[in-house]
Structures are given as structure tokens and as C-alpha cells.
Amino acid sequence: MKVDFTRFYESINKKFWRFFEDKSRIRISYGGGGSSKSYTEFQEIIYKMLNEDGHNYLICRKVANTNKVSTYALFKQVATSMGVMPLFKENKSDMTYTVKETGYMAIFKGLDDIEKVKSITFPNGVLTDIVVEEASEITQKDFDQLNVRLRGNKPSHIPFQITLLLNPIDDRHWIKREFFDLKSYQKRLSVYNLHSTYLDNEFIDKDYRAVLEGYKDIDYEFYKVYCLGEWGSFGNVIFNNWEVRKCPYKEEDFDGLYNGMDFGSVHPSVIIKSGMKDGVLYSYAELCVVDKTNKEFINAAKEFNLLKANEYCIADSAEPSRIKEWVQHGFGVVPAKKGPDSVTRGIDFIKAHKWVIDPSCVRLIQEVQVYKWKEDKNGDPIEGKPVDIMDDGIKSVMYSLEPLSRMKGKPSVLSGTKTDQKKSLIKVKAEERKKLREAIKAKRKKEREESKKK
């Protein structure tokens, strides 16, 4: 099937023209935020599925849920903007898009269950292309498993390709070591690298560009890494008490449950669910959405069943209208108290505990790696003043723990004996129940008032 793509190259950034045409087995598109790496790659995917018969795509991220709210939604957004969405059949339950006329497919999967990825088959042809969004999330073992999946009989004009999309952060990451320093994969496979930044994006929104430019004055080191896409290593990081590990508990096993929410516009909107068990803090579930309205954020929470009806959650108090909308949809969302020392108190409380972060909390993991203190003119850290840029998940955790961090006495009281811990948690739960009753009471009063008006 042929679509008129004669003016297609006019709709994409020139920086990516060579990348489109490269036939290397492995392609790496890396760089700073706002460079259009992901959007342009999905333009290429759609172009090739419609213009070059034979392409079957596996599009993946480390965690399936993050794939659904990011890449799967982005495919539809790009196809719609290109005016070709009617040419695809969408299957929401299986997370696939199929070209109606040819049967070639794009399948979206998470690598948190690699065995399911190994068993993927296509009704027409074989897997020819793999695209990994946020490739810095995956391990080298994940990559090698994907690499061996590209095999079989395919049309001769189509190469097998893996495309990695990432924002480089940690200069100790395996991708930098293997592809840029040692170049170990280049010894046996063809590899093509493309670096891009927001300065290469001809279609960037002016307001978003201004936001990125503003990071120069807030923290130039962050600007170099996040905006210019340079491999870096952050000093003065605030949290060193965390580890990434699968959470071993169910919700009913925790001594206390704590839900927090942070709203974003340019930044993402995030919900983090945490629990306390024997003095250890566990952050075990996350929802992160980008460029979504508050209603879309609410629908995503419902779809993934992240928050149950009337479940207590503390949110950013700077957005009262958004909180009100959550309450109207049946959620027990209440505003954070904050205060002049709330951030410092929240940081101190988290640092007083061992912190286990589940691998599914990918946004939170990204943030704790770069969350750092501001620096004075001599480069020394300014205690109590963190760089307020990439902290949406961290703020969600801080909001959720406010009832604990605001308690009198040292935050580390929860690291004491089981009896002391239980006593503290009983007080906290009583406060939580009181706030929840107030939220439900306000909701019912609102419903009665609306009923009277009708």
C-alpha cells in the first residue's frame, strides 16, 4: 500500500534525515529533552509501516504500564497528526496497531516480563524492528535478549534494526560503556549514533524552549545533562539511602500506606504509592503521565486501578481546582499542608530510613539519581535548598509522608521497636481517617447542593 509521502521530509527535523535512511543493525538516538527524538521516531515507524511493506514492530519500555501511557498513546497522536490513523486498526486490550490493508503490526510490550516478549509472533511476516523508548531503563541483558529476537525470513529490502531512544544521564551506564567507550558491539555489528538537542528541533514550542533555556540559570550542570544531552555524573546528590529492588510485600502487609500526588503541566503529573514496613520505606507503585489534562490523569488512575475510590491521597496544595476535580470523581484526595520548612523536613524524614524503590517506579528512579543541592559560587552545596527541577515523583513521596514527617520528635522514631512504631502509626492513621471523613463529608455536601439546584 502506498500513501503520498512526497512532502514527508518537510514535516520532520532535518537532523534526523540521515538517521531515517541508515540501515545499521543498531541505531542510538540520544540527547537532551525537547529534541523531538521520540516524536520523530514514531513518524518514521508510521511512514515505514505504510510505505515499505514488510515491517513488523515491537515497541517497548522496561515497564508495561509506562509503555501504555507513553509510547502507545504517542503512536496514535502522531498517526492522527499525519492524517493516517484511519489506515490502522487499533486493539486497546492487546496494545497493537495493524495496517488494515497489509496486516503488518506494531506491538507494544514491557520488558518487565521478558518471557512474553520472547513468545511474540506476527500473523504476517516476522519481527523486523525493535524500538526501545527510555533505553536507559533497560539492562544489558534485556538488550541482548531483544537482539537475538531479530531473525528469520524477511523481505530483502528491509534490514533488521534495533533503535534505542534515551536521554543520557549517568556516565557509568552500560550503554555509554559498551557503545561509546569500549565500542564492544561495533566490533561485530553495525551501529549508528545520533545526538540531538532542543536546538535541533525546528518545530519546538517557544514556551517550552524558554523553560529549557531557563535551566541554565537554575543549575548549569543539570542544563548540560538534561537539555544538551551530555553524559554526566551529578555531585551533591541528596539521597544515598535508596536501592532498586522488587517490593516483597502486598499492601495489606505494610504497617502504614501513604499515597502522594504532584501535578504538572510542562512537568509530568505523578502518583507514588509507598508503604512503611519495620522502619523501611517502600515506594512500590507509580503513575506518571506527560502532557495530559487533569481529567486524562484521573482516567489513567482509574484505568490502572492505582487509586481506589475514596482512598486517601495527599496532593500538591498549589492546585486546589485539580484536587476538587479528583474529589468529584470519588477519590479521597486532600491538599498537602506544606509550610516554609516542609521540603527540608520531607528530605530529612526520607533520609532517616532505608528506601526501597520498586523497578516499576521508573520516574522516581530517574529523579533520585539527579536530585541534588543547589551550589554557591564556589560549587559548594547549599544545605536545605534542592534544585527544584526534576522532582515530581520525589515531591509525591514527600506529600504522602507529611503526616509522619510533621510528627513531633525525630523522624527515625519509626526505626525503633515494633511497639513504638505501632503507637506512632496509630496516631497517623487516626489523623488520616479524620481527613478522609472530612473529604467525604465535603463531597456529599457538594452533591446535595448540586441535587437541590437540579
Structure confidence at residue 63 (pLDDT) = 86
Residues 132 and 272 in one domain: no
Residues 205 and 252 in one domain: no
The pLDDT of residue 103 = 95
Say if 28 falls within a structural domain.
yes
Q: Would residue 226 count as lying in a domain?
A: no
> At 142, which CATH number?
3.40.50.300
The residue assigned the cell 525546528 is 202
> Does 225 fall in a domain?
no
Phi and psi at 63, nearest 5°, equal: -115, 135
Residues 205 and 286 in one domain: no
How many whole angstroms separate alpha carbon 347 and alpha carbon 363?
A: 18
Report the distance separating Cα 244 and Cα 246, nearest Å: 7
Q: Is 407 part of any domain? A: yes
Domain count, the chain: 2
Show which of 162, 191, 212 is a domain's final residue: 212
The whole-number pLDDT of residue 411 equals 42
pLDDT of residue 329: 94
Q: Are residues 339 and 444 in the same domain?
A: yes
Q: How far lies 322's CA from each of 174, 258, 330, 442, in Å?
A: 40, 20, 13, 15
Give the cell for residue 102: 497489509
- 227 lies in a domain? no
Among the listed residues 284, 288, 366, the one whose alpha carbon sits nearest the alpha carbon of residue 66? 288
- Report yes or no on 221 lying in a domain: no
Task: Indicate if 165 and 258 belong to the same structural domain.
Answer: no
In the structure grid, which three cell numbers stand for residue 347, read together? 528530605
Do residue 188 and residue 250 come from a single domain?
no
Tell me if residue 296 falls in helix, strand or coil.
helix
Measured on CA atoms in the order 236, 237, 242, 245, is the torsion positive or negative? negative
Tell me, yes or no, whether 231 lies in a domain. no
* Dihedral sign, Cα of residue 229, residue 231, residue 237, residue 242: positive
Contact predicate 263/290, CB 8 Å? no
Q: Is there a single domain that holds both residue 199 and residue 298?
A: no
Do 400 and 287 reside in the same domain of the chain? yes
Q: What is the mean pLDDT of each run of 10 residues along the chain (454 residues)?
A: 82 94 97 95 96 94 85 94 95 94 95 80 94 94 93 91 93 94 96 97 92 88 90 84 94 94 89 95 94 91 89 93 95 91 91 94 92 84 84 96 76 40 59 71 76 72
Do 184 and 48 share a structural domain? yes
Q: At what angle do helices 362-370 and 392-400 cross, to 10 degrees?
A: 100
Task: Clarify whether residues 149 and 251 are in a common domain.
Answer: no
Which residue segment(s) compose the domain that 253 sits in? 242-453
Same domain, 272 and 165: no
Domain-located, residue 3: no
Give 202's strand partners.
Answer: none
Instruction: Provide the CATH number for the domain around residue 357.
Output: 3.30.420.280
Residues 268 and 321 in one domain: yes
